[in-house]
Chain A
Amino acid sequence: MKKVITGNQAVAYGVILSRVDVISAYPITPQTTIVEELSELTASGRMKTVFLKVESEHSAMAALIGASTGGVRCFTATSSHGLAYMHEMLHWASGARLPIVLVNVNRAIAPPWNIWSDQSDSLSQRDTGWVQLYCEHNQEVLDTVLQAYRIAESVKLPVMVVLDAYVLSHTSEPVEIPTAEEVDAFLPPYCPEYTIDTQEPMAFSTIATPDHFLEFRYKIQKAMEQVPEIAKKVNDEFRSRFNRGYGAIERYGKEEADILLMTSGTVTGTSRIVVEKLNRKGYDVCGLKIKRFRPFPVEEICKEIKGAKKVAIIDRNLSAGVGGIFAQELRASLYSREKRPQIFGFVSGLGGRDITPELIEEAIQYTVDHPQPEEEILWLGLKK
């Protein structure tokens, strides 16, 4: 059934269809409509779900850790400060290997107060051991929520699904909503490996000495290393059932080009138009959408580099002292590889400033004009 819905509503549909057992969330702009939709649905009895209206985001994640340990499917959504507040518990969720799905609406972190789109919040959590998946449009949002549970419950790691504030969260787009039966066929009930059982009592998250801690962390890394293969399998299955799918990365424009434009989130949508326009003008440029940030899709990217000499990558985030985070990850992952194109790291759009087609063109033009970037960080649209 096709409906014209906002990104937040798409999230809500994804959660309903995933038959989530426990939701625990705290309101924060611009996540609020997710929470409101889900409140309605759980209160009306349409979802047999417990909604814990906790008093903070930290408690939201803590409650889900409790619930997930109890062996049920869990969900929360947040943004910006809420995600930052949860930080301690994000570490805990992955350390405890709990397949929790969290939807984060990318929003800038204060001060100054700013409620608009910015990837710094989710990317600040990149070391917490969560899989991170970014979305370009509302259909992808809904679909990614469904896939997220499959991935999470396979590798036993929590998954963060990310969408832009307002541009997606509050913007309506047509979305094909699968039926419950279709989703049930794709997403079986959750079967935890360990759970709370008074007949076979055990203590979860017991203190471990240096003798064992390293190995537990090693296991998490190994789980992360399985994500590319599993995510691909899940997506292939999804595609076969629903006739649509999303790779860790997706190439658009020409098959091969001198310049690769890498983007994530809604910027990709704008970039598609720009690349097409520039191709028609004869620019040798193609586009690479990055869906999965963590684990960073190194293999997939290397395959797509082919003959490219330059990569222009646009970050809607800033790690002060470093620059764009996607750019940093890219540089790090290509360092040991054979093909190492020049990387032009553009930072733009922080705090919700529009990344217009003009700005993207400017970036590509800069890349065309310069053999290598003149600065580590290339500020796009900055008013000096």
Chain B
Amino acid sequence: MDRTVEMTKQFVFKGASQMPMISVSLGHMDWNKTGAWRAQRPFYEDKTSPCSAACPVGNDIVGFIQKITEEDFEGAWNLIREENPFPGVCGRVCFHPCESKCNRREYDEPIAIHALERFVSDFASNLNKKIRKGPGARKNKIAVIGSGPAGMSCAYHLAKLDYDVTVFESSSLAGGMLRTGIPSYRLPKDVLDREISNIAELGVEIRTGIPFGEGLNLDGLKNYQAIFIATGAHRGRDLHVPGGKGRGVFSGLDLLKKINLGRKVTLGDKIAIVGGGNTAIDVARSVVRLGKKATILYRRSKEEMPAFGEEMVEALEEGVKIRYLVNPIRIQQKDSLHRLECLRMELGEKDESGRRKPVPIPGSNFFFEADNVIIAAGEEVELFFLPKGLEKREGIVLTQRDGNTGARGIFAGGDLTSNQRTVAHAIGSGKKVALAIDCYLNGKDSEEALRQILTGEGPSISMFRYLHPQERLMNPHVVTFDELNTDYFEPSRRQRETKDLIKKRIKGFREITSGFTEGIAMEEAERCFSCGTCVGCENCYVFCPDASIIKIGEVLSHQVDYDFCKGCGICFSECPRGVISLKEEAR
């Protein structure tokens, strides 16, 4: 009886004369299709990971992290760049909602996804690879107004779709808020320049020094088949208190812009900063690096402060002082000194933002003295230069879901159209509009297209799936922690990027963190559960009692042998990452 031959023949014996002398076996049981026993059927189905679902940029996070575990860093970079032209930026400044949703946080500590993204971009910078230029023949011309993250992301994706893109930037350098609003110790300028030049090398023309509304208006853009307005929100909100516009009182955004563009800044010694967001922190830490003392005055408590947690920790380490529950009501000036009359606050009911409203405590007035006062109480959009016909409400421009303003061929996005003012949202917005413009110019339904490519429930979208609708198919169900089998993971600490000594940090504007080494990056990447995506651990293959998980050579085929699978559910149970689903067997 040859082992290699699959004996599917069923023996039929007419009688004793045909039978062997003893009950010795003559064939195998392959003819016995035990699949008929099944009441439930397992199947492989990639599902959405919570990190990818939460990412406003639409990164395939599980995908790129897996490439890092395989030591394919270039592959990781290519994967990120399918969705995001700014990994070096995001890895440094994004508020990483992915990490807040990472399932590992319920086991021990979430994956340091931002650090891995940064690692990949740093690695790529050493590759010195030339990004391919688009093919010769170009499609329609598109104008992008504003070279911030939204505008550049849109330009990038349009260029990859073979459009002829021109970006108009009012200031002398491209980058928008990335350039002017974020200090170099958080986002080094060379990183930003490199990622912008990567975009330019796709054939995107960036024309700086051309402000919209002055040097440029809609008439001048008649040759462009579509326009994307992504001018951002660069104007600091006024404090609306007496003395709020006096000498020596500056807007935080203006100050940061000056510092970031290398212009001279004159400040006194003691600086008061009013506000609680990232801008306030950025301002505080920047002035510390200029040798000044910084105190932040914030009207709510620490828990409500919108600035990123790590930023606050670093700020405090660097000597920034933060006073909570104080609100200036008047700024008096005496020579070069400023006296802020402040009221102490207490927290009342929740307001529309979901945070408890600060309520002044009557009679709690006190004075705070500073040489300069910096107002970092939020940013607003400039609306005066915008074309007529755009709907505005409560400080933003309204658009349809795909970014269409309603005016023919005019789209808007980024901080201009949203109160979710983060780099990641802006990048995501630019991508979405690129897609919308592509639909618009080809008579496709952008709503439908967007719906097809949502990651999870959205709003995260995947450009890859837009371009390859039949590939990387994924169930929009987001994998939860209890759908995992954590028996296969060892608890381990999250890796941390090393930071410079505090006294070194505040000496200048150099980047304070060092990225992961290759070894550390791979170790951290190994911690990723890879929720919803098979990594080939082969538990299913090992534990199947009926050898019904099919491998092709050394790798899983992701096929179940339904002829023999008895539907026991062991594969479903032992998949660490919820890739296998069970459904009732139809009869």
Contact = CB atoms under 8 A, between A and B. Distances in A.
Asked if chains A and B are in direct contact (CB within 8 A), the reply is yes
A219 B16 contact: yes
B24 interface: yes
B1 A97 contact: no
B19 A206 contact: no
Contact of B13 (A95, A212, A218): A212
A203 B23 CA distance: 8
Contacts of A207: 23
A201 B3 contact: yes
9 contacts: A194-B22, A200-B1, A201-B1, A204-B23, A212-B13, A215-B16, A216-B22, A216-B23, A219-B19
Contact of A204 (B3, B13, B15, B24): B24
Contacts of B3: 201
Contacts of A205: 22-24
Contacts of A156: 21
A208 interface: yes
Contact of B25 (A95, A193, A203, A219): A203
A97 B22 contact: yes
Contacts of B13: 212, 215
Nearest to A218: B16
A332 interface: no
A219 B24 CA distance: 14
Nearest to B20: A194
A208 B21 CA distance: 13
A218 B13 CA distance: 15
Interface residues of B, number: 14
B26 interface: yes
Nearest to A222: B16
Contact of A206 (B2, B15, B21, B24): B24
A72 interface: no
Contacts of B19: 212, 215-216, 219
A103 B25 CA distance: 31
Contacts, number: 46
Contact of B21 (A200, A201, A219): A219
Interface string B1-43: 1110000000001011001111111100000000000000000
B26 to A, nearest CB: 7
Contacts of A218: 16
A200 B2 contact: yes
A294 B72 CA distance: 79
B23 A212 contact: yes
Contacts of B1: 200-202
Interface in A272-296: none
Given A200-B1, A201-B1, A206 B25 contact: yes
Interface in A8-28: none
Chain B residues touching A, majority SS = loop
A203 B24 contact: yes
Interface in A186-212: 193-194, 200-208, 212
Contacts of A200: 1-2
Interface of A is mostly: loop
A206 B29 CA distance: 13
B31 to A, nearest CB: 16
A292 B26 CA distance: 36
A96 interface: yes
A193 B21 contact: yes
B21 A202 contact: no
Nearest to A223: B21
**Which 7 pairs of residues, A with B, have the shortest CB-CB distance?**
A215-B16, A203-B25, A208-B23, A206-B23, A202-B25, A202-B24, A206-B25
A250 B556 CA distance: 74
A212 B25 CA distance: 13
A204 B22 contact: yes
A194 B19 CA distance: 14
Given A215-B16, A216-B23, 13 more contacts: A96-B22, A97-B21, A194-B20, A202-B1, A202-B26, A204-B22, A204-B23, A205-B22, A205-B24, A206-B24, A206-B25, A207-B23, A219-B21
A207 B13 CA distance: 16
Contacts of B25: 202-203, 206
Contact of A215 (B2, B15, B24, B26): B15
A234 to B, nearest CB: 20
Contacts of A95: 22
Contacts of A208: 23
A208 B23 CA distance: 7
Contacts of A97: 21-22
A219 B26 CA distance: 18
Nearest to A203: B25
A204 B24 CA distance: 5
A204 B23 CA distance: 6
Nearest to B21: A97
Contacts of A212: 13, 19, 23
A204 B22 CA distance: 8
Nearest to B18: A215
A201 B26 CA distance: 9
Interface in B110-165: none
A215 B20 CA distance: 10
Contacts of A206: 23-25
Contacts of A96: 22
Interface string A151-178: 0000010000000000000000000000
By CB atoms of chain A within 10 A, which of B2, B3, B24, B26 has the most? B24
Contacts of B2: 200
Interface in A58-99: 95-97
A95 B13 CA distance: 20
A220 to B, nearest CB: 9
A200 B27 CA distance: 11
Contacts of B20: 194
A208 B11 CA distance: 13
A193 B26 CA distance: 14
